[in-house]
Amino acid sequence: MQLHGQQILGHTTHAEGDNVFPAINPTTSEALDTSFHEATAAEVDQAVRLADASFDTLRSASAEQRADLLDAIADQIMELGDELLERTSPETGLPMGRCTAERGRTVGQAKLFATMIREGSWLDARIDRGDPGREPVPKPDLRRMMQPIGPIGVFGASNFPLAISVAGTDTICALGSGCPVVVKAHPGHPGTCEMLGRAIDTALEKCDLPTGAFSLVHGRSVTPGLALVQHPLIRAVAFTGSLAGGRALFNAACARPEPIPFYAEMGSINPVFVLPGALAERGEQIADGYIKSVTLGVGQFCTNPGLVIGMQSDALDAFSTSAGQLAKEAAPATMLHAGIRDACAFGAQRIGETEGVEVVGISSADVDPAQTQAACVVFKTDARTYLSNPHLHDEVFGPTSLIVSAGESAQLERIADQLAGHLTATIQGTEDDLREHASLVRILERKVGRLIFNGFPTGVEVCHAQHHGGPYPATTHSHFTSIGTASIMRFVRPVAYQDWPDNALPAELRNANPRSIWRLIDGELTKDHV
């Protein structure tokens, strides 16, 4: 595919602005072919207006049509073949094996959402039949279901150029629900974004759905993204990225004359509590899994375990020693781009310069700056130092982690109580540990969106029960997930119909239940007719 580097506005391409930028190969620090044009304010406006004009047609399409669209997007991604991977890998520094696996996840989640759209229970259809003879007041007939909200702005993640990007969960569940999408392409992998955008455009055309339901705009500066968030026709925004970037856009969304939901996933430290029983039984095994999790993908996962907390003991010392040795053996590797590498290096340096913190292990091989590399480094400190230095609580996005030793169970709980919001928390323990530290678990339930037992947080299963979210600052709304089928709830809202004639109701609320979906009728879940 010959890249054009332009905006995809519906079914047309535009390049009105003079600002252009290249994609950079982080393994060589060299520019790749094709320059990408930053979107102008007029181009962003056109993209959103096309989305708004297509909304009624897209939301009126049958569930089968929208499910077919998601299947078609998956098929078009596969039609790109290895050419997609051969662009993604040099733009991101991710190895071909990782890119191939991520393509599989991207296609798989599109098909999973297609199945869910067809099944229909996500619409949460509810019917309370009326009773005109009820005394002293007649009971109205009320029927409620979820409806799409309108054009959605999507900001993809740098670390998942396929699965959480142009054709990722946000776009797929928005289109499946009936919401048009405008994607702000990530400047770290703009060629990959263009290829995926063209695949979606082709899928819309093949399914005879309005091509204005999808647009893609480029930009390396903050200007196009800010224009997208502030556009009065955008009804919600999904964002995956840094706390600083997410918070700035969240503030802009809230400052609009008509504020809109801004669903941001902004990272996490993902604390791991290593309890005494588990340390005694399998300390070396836990250390091995811990360092593998820290270094997975060069630590570039929002679920990277950046903090380990245990009670001071010989077993914890042995665990730290094992983890330090494994960190030394971990080779430096290329990060996504120089900005992430520099931020990681700064964060690690700030931890290391803190009084009371020591290095227990760092990659023995030197990093190569020309290859945008970062080294694994593991630090250790005590609870008092950790609690008295707020910067030690900040996320370092990369293969960096801190082990904290607590003097007693109460101190363990104090650390947990002072945690900010995170995506996950992990307990490495035995059943006896869980009983003895039940109050710790109760604290963590208030702090995170997913609790893991005897595992590690990296690796997020795409399924119906997944919750990838958490209290602020992990996300801006802890009720919602950005991964898994429940993520569709971000882009719909309930609408109730009172005393409407049956033939004027949405199909899902009619007496005959033509789609045969699960509905709550007078408080009973059933597929029966009314």
100-113 pLDDT per residue, tens = 999 999 999 999 99
Active site residue 265: yes
- The residue extents of the domains of the chain are 7-21+45-266+481-490, 272-453
The 8-class DSSP code of residue 156 comes to -
Q: Which of 302, 344, 413, 508 is catalytic?
A: 302
Note whether 7-21+45-266+481-490 and 272-453 share their fold: no
Mean pLDDT lowest among 179-183, 196-200, 264-268: 264-268
> Mapping DSSP to helix (H, G, I), strand (E, B) and coil, where does residue 215 land?
strand
Q: What is the arithmetic mean of pLDDT over 149-178?
A: 97
Q: What is the pLDDT of residue 232?
A: 98
> How distant, in Å, are the alpha carbons of 218, 315, 322, 372, 460 from that of 291?
36, 17, 10, 21, 18
Q: What is the arithmetic mean of pLDDT over 125-149?
A: 97
> Mapping DSSP to helix (H, G, I), strand (E, B) and coil, where does residue 262 land?
strand
Kindly report, residue by residue over 348-383, the tens digit of the pLDDT. 999 999 999 999 999 999 999 999 999 999 999 999
Q: What is the arithmetic mean of pLDDT over 60-76?
A: 98
| C-alpha–C-alpha distance, residues 380 and 378, integer Å | 7
Vertex 236: Cα angle to 233 and 242 (nearest 5): 125
* 524-526 β-sheet, strand order: 492-498, 142-148, 126-128, 519-521, 524-526
Beta strands in 117-267 (DSSP E): 126-128, 142-148, 152-155, 181-184, 214-217, 236-240, 262-265
The token pair that represents 286 in the structure block: 């836990």
Q: Does domain 272-453 have CATH number 3.40.309.10?
A: yes
CB 323 within 8 A of CB 405: no
Question: 498: exposed, middle or buried (C-beta count within 10 Å: 0-12, 13-18, 19+)?
Answer: exposed
Q: For residue 169, is it left (φ>0), alpha (ψ between -120 and 50) or beta?
A: alpha
Kindly report, residue by residue over 235-277, the tens digit of the pLDDT. 999 999 999 999 999 999 999 999 999 999 998 999 999 999 9
The 8-class DSSP code of residue 141 comes to P
> Mapping DSSP to helix (H, G, I), strand (E, B) and coil, where does residue 461 land?
coil
**What is the reported pTM?**
0.96
Handedness of CA 443, 446, 452, 458 (dihedral sign): negative
Active site residue 207: no
| C-alpha–C-alpha distance, residues 23 and 36, integer Å | 8
> How distant, in Å, are the alpha carbons of 13, 89, 177, 194, 212 from that of 93?
28, 5, 34, 18, 33
Q: What is the arithmetic mean of pLDDT over 158-170?
A: 97
| C-alpha–C-alpha distance, residues 221 and 522, integer Å | 53
The token pair that represents 460 in the structure block: 């997020």
| C-alpha–C-alpha distance, residues 335 and 332, integer Å | 9
The alpha carbon of residue 196 and the mean position of all alpha carbons in its chain are separated, in whole angstroms, by 18
The token pair that represents 41 in the structure block: 């304010």
The token pair that represents 248 in the structure block: 């700035």
| C-alpha–C-alpha distance, residues 339 and 428, integer Å | 33
Would strands 377-382 and 358-362 be described as parallel, antiparallel, or unpaired?
antiparallel
Q: What is the pLDDT of residue 267?
A: 85
Which residue's entry shows tokens 């595992």?
455
Share of the chain above pLDDT 90, in %: 99
Q: What is the Rg, in whole angstroms, of the alpha carbon atoms belonging to the chain?
A: 25
| C-alpha–C-alpha distance, residues 501 and 201, integer Å | 38
Share of the chain above pLDDT 70, in %: 100
Kindly report, residue by residue over 292-322, the tens digit of the pLDDT. 999 999 999 999 999 999 999 999 999 999 9
| C-alpha–C-alpha distance, residues 414 and 474, integer Å | 20
Give domain 7-21+45-266+481-490's CATH number out of 3.40.50.970, 3.10.400.10, 2.40.30.10, 3.40.605.10: 3.40.605.10
Q: For residue 298, is it left (φ>0), alpha (ψ between -120 and 50) or beta?
A: left
